[in-house]
Every structure is written in structure tokens, then in C-alpha cells.
Structure 1
Amino acid sequence: MNDLDLVRTMRADAPIPSQRRLDAGRERLLAAIGSSSPAGGAGRTPRRRFGGVRGMVLAGGVAAVAAVAVAVQVGVRPVTLNTTPAAESAKYTDLMVERAAFGWLPDGLRANGYVADRQGKEFFQVTAQEGKAAVTLTVYGRGKEPALPHLPGGVPGRRIPAEPVNGRPAYWIFQPDPNGQSSFELRWQYAPGGWADLEGNGLRGDGAELTRTAYRIAESATFGGARPIAMPLHVDGVPGGLTPKRAVLDKGAFGEVSALLEFIVTGPSDGMSITATKSDGTMGTGVSGRPGKSVPGRPRPNTKLNGHPAYRSPSLVHVYGVNGFDIRISASGSVLARLDKTGGVVGLFNRTTVLGLDETNWTTNPVN
């Protein structure tokens, strides 16, 4: 399973194993997008596969903004909605940068899913998925070789000898099966101190054909890029001093279009998440069991915000049908306290510009 999986059975510092079942693939990105919310809001966000990236505080200088005019873009012209209390302006850069890229891919596949994770051991991941076939490339932050994952059933992973990739050491974590097993995972050292994993699922061919496919993909992959990846929203007034935790972008992998930005301060109980998910035209029906408890699934609207059906609570806002997306913002702890000075989570929504489904309108500067 790739890094859009949320497997909770592993220790926090160990990689999570590949799931080897393509029918679970769609849940990978859905789980990354749909279940994210800081603790104290809608429940603690599960960690993503390889434990994640070392957090980096990217907040720059802070300047007061007298009033922020908010726009939700309709077509190509933003429409001003209203203003909110003065909000901080802090700089957060490189939230989603293409640290690794595919070269050659089998016919019909293209890169359409990305994860940048800064929890623990840093990694960037790109997925190409179509139908039952999926390929995922993961590059880790420079340093020690990542821990071996456990295999399905909790079996400890082991290094299976493999031919070098571009002359550098490599080994299989899960080797193509001569009987036609369609999954594999290959790890190699692409540079001194630099490690990468390549996973394949649902690809056609016998063991020898899948081995050739894996090596052709691995040998043509590139690393160390700095191209920013555009996202479908822009949010103003995110407080300074936060640590970017994770960014996820799905551009059609497993049938979804969605984006996620997460930030923390000192731990999971002090954080914020901002999610945009392509609207399916429906609204949630979830209700809280009792006051103070989180709402399961998508919440039932209890108000309207800027004309859109919405659910609103002190720590969570979920707004339906905003320029093609459903928007969810949650915050907790000290982050929520700081947001409350500028209108809370609703104020942050009012400072959000949703850029629609046309990727040519998306921005490489999603925050502030």
C-alpha cells in the first residue's frame, strides 16, 4: 500500500507495508483526505505510512493585515464575499514540491497523486494510478537507510537480493512472483545517503516481465527536483510559527480530486487541517452523539456560510459545494486559540479562495 494508506498496526518509526490488494487502493487517498483532523477537533489524525517527515517551521515574518477581503473563484473571476478580523500574514513555502518524478511509465499511467510528509523521517511520494494498476515512488530525506517494513500478517520484512539500479545497491522488499503475482516493492540507494522505494500493484505480466517493468521505472526516475506542485485553493491568514506536517494532493488517483494541508505546533493536540475534496453534490448526515463529541463522517449542515450549506462548530467548519469542492477546516489547542482572534475556523474559511476544478487556475502558493 502506498503512502496514501493509513495502516495503524505498525510502530511509529517503521515503514508500513504494501497491502498488495488493489481493491483497497481507493481508500488510500480517501483516508488521507477524509479522516484528517487535529486531535480535539474530529479526532487524532492517523499517521501516514513511513512515519513521515521531520517538521520544519517555515513561518517567516509576521505582519498585521487591517482587513482581508475574501473571494471564492467562480469560473475565472473571484467574487468577494466579505471581510474578517485582521489576520496574521506568515510565510510558508515548499509545502508541496516535486522531490521525485517518474520518467518512463507503462502505457495508461500518469502521475496523479502526491504526498509530502514531515513527520519523523521526511519523505515525498508520487503515485500513478489508473484502473487496477498503480505505481508509487517514494523518496526519503537524506540520511540513514529507512527501516524495513513489515509484510502482511506482521511478518518482518527482509532484504531479498536484487540487481543494482543504475549501478547502485538495490534489494527487493517484495519480489515479483514467477506465478504472476502482480505486486512488488523495490528499494535502492539512488545517491549516497539517498534511498527510494518503488511499489507496483495490479500490473500485467509474469515475474520476469514485472521485474523488467520495475527496473525500467526505477532507472528512469529522477530525484532532487524543486518544481512546486499547484493546489486547488489558497488560504490567507494562517498563523505564523506553525510546523507544516503533511500535504496531500490527489489529481484523479482512485477517482478522487482532493487536497490536504496540515500544521502542528508542539504535538498532535495543537494543530490545524484544511481539506478540499471534489464535491459529489451530496451533503453529510453525521451528527454528534452528545455535546463536545466529534461528528462521525461528513457532518449534517446546521447553517449556511456565504450561501453554502455548512456545518459549524467552535473547532470545525465543513462547507459544501464551494466552486466544485467541499471545504473542511478544523483546529485545536493553541492553534485554535490563535485563530479565534481572527474569526476562528469560520474566519479562516472566509479567507480561503477555492480555485475550481480547472488545474490551469490552481496555485503553487496555497498558503498566505
Structure 2
Amino acid sequence: MIEDMDVARLMRAEVEAAEKPSAVNIERAMIAGRRQRWYARSAGAALAVVAVAVGAVTVPGLVAPDRSSPPSLEMVGALAPLEPYTGEVTSPDASRIPAALETIDPTVQYVRFGWLPSGLASLQYGAGLSQTGGLGVFLNGHAGDPQNWGGVSVHLYPKGVTPPAPQVMGIDQRAPTVSTAPAPDVRGAAATFTLYDVDGTDRLSLRWQYAPDGWAAVDVSPWAAGQDAREIALHVAQKLRFSTTERVQMPAQVMGVPQNLRLIYATVNGPLTPDGWRWYASVSYSAEPPTANPGTQWAKTLDVSFSPYVVMTDKIRAELNGKLLHEPPNTTIDGHQAAFYAAADPSWMERLDVLDVRGMVVRIDAHRGTLDEQGTKGLFQRLDLAGAKPDWRPSLMVD
């Protein structure tokens, strides 16, 4: 399952890629390629660890609450235990997912925010198979610090998967539980508050079942003084908008992908402010079958991403502080400046960045063997970019 620490890393990596990437280091890319192949070879041995990481084992305090005998407070960590919640609970949104998700379709917008507190800077949504091996859905409101996760996150877990404790360091290290306490019903289902100690800071998790045997969680890491994480979590949870038919909105359509590739992951993010230009969208395809372990599926992928093309100004140069905004072009394609790089290692990858395509930068990363002989340049010419707009924004909030 995609987790908060993964979200923070993904957002940091994607913001860096969208805003201020440096020139491609082919040697570094080859090292990364070898690392991915190592993950693929060792994935069998790691499956037990991944199973724990994605919640295949029930975590204490996360069993559905018994209405007749609410769980007692259990002091485990060093932070103050939760107090009983006595505040008001807003009425729930009527949308629902009728049955626990058995598969995750990356093209579906399963959840959107209906309400958020002030002080958040950006939103991100992702669905499918994460690089850490978890299958699920996340929706994140981030407070803006790329080094530390502060904000609100929503997770939807597939059928039978119990929410794990937050990740602290590595896939096998989990935050200790401080306390658990009963929460008011969420959308008609019994719910539980769990407080974790994540590197000495509070992380509150509100858990309930969105459908029988299908868990949902709203996690809150306070980002401002005086915030009541329980009130925020309850309000966010009650106002979520669920759907199994709404499609993820993308800035352009990826066309011409070989039929042997499967879409395994999609993510979009963007600013909350109307004038912000920092947005990002990407899709990932795998050449491996769905029965392969997650490491193998991610070891041979095609990734297509979109971000805004920005004309350099003195203000932006000052913000970048000497870093590059886009890869330096070394060729042209269809009249657009482009940067093309191919690693010497034939089992690794080639990368194509095409600049100022209807106000966007289009990036295509492909492991060898995922595309035909025309490679990334041929795929770029097959993309549907007719409706692309530089002021595109993901639709992650209910209008």
C-alpha cells in the first residue's frame, strides 16, 4: 500500500523533477537500473517483508471496534495518550464504494476531498501498484515542506488488507503506537483513533471500513499550532467523495502504447492556489504480467509524465538558485527542442524530454524492450496532445 513516507518521497521526487531537474547523469541512471534489477532478483526474498509493509498482518488496535465494549486506552509510547473525543461531527457525504476493492484501476478517481483545513499547499492522488510493492489508493494534502510530511492523507486499502502503522525508516520499521481510542462513527461505520509516535511527533490515524472487509484511513500530521487532529480527520473523512466510475483527469492522453504493456500506476498533483504553476502528472506501464512480484513489475517499465513548461525569468532563476529547470536540449523533434539520452547499458533505458509542447514538458522514460524500434521518439509522436493546456490542474477537490 502507498504510505505517507512514500507519499513524501514521491512528492519530493516529482516536485524536483517538475521544477528543477539537473542534467541526466547516465552513469547514475545505469546504477539505478542495476538497483532495480537487483530488486527484481531479490523480490522473492523480500515478499514476506513487503507483506508486512502493506498490512497483510493485522496491526494491534486496528480491528473493527466492538460497539458494545469500546477499546480502552493503551499507553505504549512516550507521547500523551488520546482523550475521549467530545466534539461535533459533521454530516457525511452520501457517496460510497459498494464493495471492498479487489483490484485497483489506476485510471479511476476513487476519492476526492470534499473539505480541507487552511494552510495546505498542494494535493496529490495516486492509484495502483507503488514502487514499494503496495496496491492501493492515496489522496494527500501537503503543507509544503518537502523534507517532512505534514498534512492530511487518505488511504483506501484493497479487500482484506489492514492499515499498517506509519513507516519511519525502511520498509520493515514501523512507528510505535502511543494509544488507541474509540472514534465517532464515520459514514455509518464504527471507527478507531490511533496515535503514533513518528520520530517524536504525533501522527493521528482515523480508521474505518468503507465497505465490508475494506479499510480506509485518514491520517493527520499537524502542521500548525493549536490544530485538533481528531477534528480535522473526522471532518475530512465525513466529506470525502467516493466513486468507482469517475476517471482520473490527465493533461494529455497517452496513446500508442504497445499492447503488451499494462498500466500499473498513475499519479497527479498540483497546487491549491489558482496561480501556482507547479503541477505534475505521470503514468507507468509494466511489461511484466500482474502475477509477477511487484519488484519485477517495476523493473521493466515505461513512464510518461507531463509538467508545465516555464519560460525562464529573473524571479524563477532566483528561486532555482543555480539549478536547472529543464534538461538542456540536444536535439529537436517535430519542431520542439528536446533532450534525448540513451544509457550504454542495453538493459537500462532511454529518456526523452520534449520542451514547450502546448505549454508542457513531456518526459518519456523507457526500459529497453518496452517500446518498438522507434523508441521514445516514436511514442511521443503518437501521444494525443491536442487538448493539453499549460494551466491544467488535477481535479482532487469537490467543486
Q: What pairs with 1:32-111 in structure 2 (closer than 5 Å)?
A: 43-44=32-33, 94-107=105-118
Distance 1:269-1:144 versus aligned 2 partners, 3 A rule? closer
Consecutive unaligned residues of structure 1, counting only runs of 5 or more, are 8-25, 53-92, 283-295, 364-368
Give the number of equivalent residue pairs. 282
Q: Output one character per residue of 1:101-159: Cα deviation in whole Å (capped at 9) or x when no partner.
A: 32332246698321112244421112234656732211112222133333369454437
* Letter of the structure 2 residue corresponding to residue 231 of structure 1: M
1:329 to 364, 387, 396: 364
The corresponding residue for 1:234 is 253
Distance 1:98-1:299 versus aligned 2 partners, 3 A rule? same
Residues in 1 aligned to 2:194 and 2:351: alpha-carbon distance in whole angstroms: 44
Offset at residue 309 of structure 1 (A): 1.7
Distance 1:131-1:161 versus aligned 2 partners, 3 A rule? same
The corresponding residue for 1:198 is 218
Distance 1:332-1:234 versus aligned 2 partners, 3 A rule? same
Moved more, 152-161 or 210-219: 152-161
Moved more, 228-237 or 246-255: 246-255
Offset at residue 221 of structure 1 (A): 2.5
Residues in 1 aligned to 2:127 and 2:118: alpha-carbon distance in whole angstroms: 26
The corresponding residue for 1:349 is 380
TM-score, reference length from structure 2 = 0.58
* Letter of the structure 1 residue corresponding to residue 279 of structure 2: V
Q: What pairs with 1:179-190 in structure 2 (closer than 5 Å)?
A: 184-190=204-210
Alignment partner of 1:113 is 2:124:
yes
Report which of the two has the higher share of helix.
Answer: 2
Answer yes or no: is the 8 Å Cα contact 2:167–2:175 preserved in 1: yes
The corresponding residue for 1:309 is 337
Q: What pairs with 1:258-337 in structure 2 (closer than 5 Å)?
A: 258-266=280-288, 267=296, 268-281=298-311, 299-314=327-342, 315-336=350-371
* Letter of the structure 2 residue corresponding to residue 335 of structure 1: T
Offset at residue 324 of structure 1 (A): 1.5
Alignment partner of 1:123 is 2:158:
no
The corresponding residue for 2:237 is 218
Report which of the two has the higher share of strand.
Answer: 1
Moved more, 345-354 or 167-176: 167-176
Offset at residue 346 of structure 1 (A): 0.1
Distance 1:222-1:144 versus aligned 2 partners, 3 A rule? same
Offset at residue 225 of structure 1 (A): 3.4
Answer yes or no: is the 8 Å Cα contact 1:279–1:324 preserved in 2: yes
Aligned partner of residue 162 in structure 1, secondary structure: strand
Distance 1:171-1:206 versus aligned 2 partners, 3 A rule? same
Q: What pairs with 1:22-37 in structure 2 (closer than 5 Å)?
A: 27=12, 29-30=14-15
Answer yes or no: is the 8 Å Cα contact 1:243–1:264 preserved in 2: yes
Distance 1:272-1:173 versus aligned 2 partners, 3 A rule? farther
Answer yes or no: is the 8 Å Cα contact 2:122–2:144 preserved in 1: no
Answer yes or no: is the 8 Å Cα contact 1:125–1:136 preserved in 2: yes
2:180 to 128, 142, 161: 161
Distance 1:328-1:227 versus aligned 2 partners, 3 A rule? same
Distance 1:146-1:212 versus aligned 2 partners, 3 A rule? closer
The corresponding residue for 2:9 is 6
CA RMSD of aligned residues (A): 4.2
Moved more, 310-319 or 108-117: 108-117
Distance 1:196-1:151 versus aligned 2 partners, 3 A rule? same
The corresponding residue for 1:247 is 266
Residues in 2 aligned to 1:160 and 1:252: alpha-carbon distance in whole angstroms: 34
Consecutive unaligned residues of structure 2, counting only runs of 5 or more, are 40-49, 55-103, 289-295, 313-323, 343-349
Answer yes or no: is the 8 Å Cα contact 1:246–1:263 preserved in 2: yes
Offset at residue 187 of structure 1 (A): 3.0
Offset at residue 306 of structure 1 (A): 1.8
Offset at residue 196 of structure 1 (A): 1.8
Q: Output one character per residue of 1:35-60: Cα deviation in whole Å (capped at 9) or x when no partner.
A: 99xx9779359899x978xxxxxxxx
Offset at residue 205 of structure 1 (A): 5.0
Answer yes or no: is the 8 Å Cα contact 1:4–1:32 preserved in 2: no
The corresponding residue for 2:76 is none
* Letter of the structure 2 residue corresponding to residue 347 of structure 1: G
* Letter of the structure 1 residue corresponding to residue 332 of structure 2: K
